[in-house]
Amino acid sequence: MTPFSPITRADCEALDRQDPLGTLRTQFSIPPGLIYLDGNSLGVLPTAAAARVAQVVQQEWGQGLIRSWNSAGWMALSQRVGDKIARLVGAAPGELVVADSTSVNLFKVLSAALHLAGVTRHEPAPGADGEAAHSPRRDVIVSERSNFPTDLYIAQSLAQQHGARLELLEAEEIPARLSGARGQDVAVLTLTHVNYRTGHMHDMAALTAQAHAAGALTVWDLAHSAGALPVDLNTAGADFAVGCGYKYLNGGPGAPAFVWAHRRHVSSAWQPLAGWIGHAAPFEFTPDYRPAPGITRYLCGTPPVLSLAALECGVDTVLAAEPLGGMAALRTKSLALTRLFAELVQARCAGHGLRLVSPTDDAQRGSQVCLARDEGAYAIVQALIERGVIGDFRAPDVLRFGFTPLYIGHAEVWDAVEHLRQVLDGGAWREARFQQRQQVT
């Protein structure tokens, strides 16, 4: 292998000039000279968001005050923004709402799935001879060992509450676990569609079909999918899904998340957080809970209006790609960017101990590229950040780079790899200031 890639920066500039999605970058406020490869952790600021939030603060809140719940449509925000996100993930209008955080929404839908699967804390019913019957109990939650920790913590908590068991497997072990007699005790399969550490993308339709064949339900976390690649929940036959508002949907730090339930399930189980906004008639103020019809029952507390207004601006930046080919066009560019980055790293950073963790197969890769290095991974990321190349680190050894096709170009990819090469060649990462761990990595 030659030490330098045959792909030149001029080649990358030519690709950017031909990019039909290039005009979408103007929707964002990006500091000059910054190469932002962390949109998979926090999307950049949409230029419309500051003015929109100011309008909500100064006019709707400042002037309209409580009247704005009606006059400014605040009560409908969760559903309105939800309908926009639904267009990005293969859901129908009225099937998805924005509420709470991804963790809280996962608690809701995983609880509902366990209820539908018949998982409750109880002893087996006695048999005819007075002894406990030994019919198999469907009480296992299956997930990926390297799933995002909050998903595993929520699943572990619910397993303890319901007397179920959480079983963690490697990705390649999951299909066999669902097959034949081995799958008879599985109640729920819960996975993040795109793995946060590797960028590996599960085959949602195939795994959902396998889970259903085993008699299990599926819960999908779309945190690293929604807004980055095509998702079709209804076509895949998924049962429940949640997702994040502040990554590829550009909703801002701490933006609310979303929750979806398939129409065949949405009215079959109560979600456990029976709050007043999920009531069928919140302003009747009755002492007993009566769930709202459809997905509205998955709301809980008062909608966070300021956050919802910012999130709507972020979602609109993704929907702006619809006339240009929509999610399919974004996916095509995303794959081109991630492929280019991996190839450039392999050619220009050879000999520095970097290992490609993300799949090379386009069909299995999300919109990120992850590299591993036995020594100095955190410090290398810090050295890059000082140079204006923003990625992030995931313990214990992963350098993670996200490629948001709405605002990243091919020349920026080339420049990012050049900075990485210089950091490695010069050993700048060994400097003491880059070794000091910050709270957020």
Torsion region of 73: left, alpha or beta (phi above 0 gives left; psi -120 to 50 gives alpha): left
pLDDT band at 137 (very low <50, low <70, confident <90, very high): confident
pLDDT for the residue numbered 274: 94
Nearest CA among 155, 160, 97 for reference residue 311: 97
Find the range with the poorest average confidence among 132-141, 304-313, 376-385. 132-141
pTM, 2 dp = 0.94
**Is residue 164 pLDDT above 80, yes or no?**
yes
What pairs with residue 390 in β-bridges?
A: 36
Residue 417 CA to residue 289 CA, distance in Å, equals 56
pLDDT at residue number 120 = 62
Under the banding of pLDDT at 50, 70 and 90, the label for residue 165 is very high
pLDDT digits (tens, 9 = 90+) for 325-362: 999 999 999 999 999 999 999 999 999 999 999 999 99
The conformation of residue 324, written as its DSSP 8-state character, comes to G
pLDDT, residue 132, reads 41
Please say if the pLDDT value at position 173 is more than 90. yes
CA 418 remoteness from chain centre: 29
Report d(CA 16, CA 9) in Å as an integer: 11
Using pLDDT thresholds of 50, 70 and 90, give the confidence band for residue 127. very low
pLDDT greater than 60 at residue 286: yes
pLDDT band at 438 (very low <50, low <70, confident <90, very high): confident
Q: How does pLDDT run across 202-252, given as a tens digit for each residue?
A: 999 999 999 999 999 999 999 999 999 999 999 999 999 999 999 999 999
Instruction: Work out the burial of residue 58: count CB atoms within 10 Å of its CB; fewer than 13 is exposed, 13-18 middle, 19 or more buried.
Output: exposed
Average pLDDT of the chain, as a whole number:
94
Q: Is 45 within 8 Å of 406 (Cβ atoms)?
A: no
pLDDT at residue 4 tops 70: no
Distance between CA 279 and CA 105 in Å, rounded? 17
% of the chain with per-residue pLDDT over 70: 95
The predicted pLDDT at position 1 comes to 35
Domains by residue range for the chain, with CATH: 9-30+325-434 (3.90.1150.10), 53-319 (3.40.640.10)
Per-residue confidence at 2, pLDDT binned at 50, 70, 90? very low
Burial (0-12, 13-18, 19+ Cβ within 10 Å), 146: middle
Rg of the chain over CA atoms, in angstroms?
23
Task: Give the catalytic positions in this structure.
Answer: 148, 221, 246-247, 400
Residue 410 pLDDT: 98
Instruction: Calculate the dihedral angle through the C-alpha atoms of 90, 96, 160, 189, rounding to the nearest 10 degrees.
Output: -10
Over residues 412-439, the mean pLDDT reads 94
The stretch 295-317 carries a mean pLDDT of 97
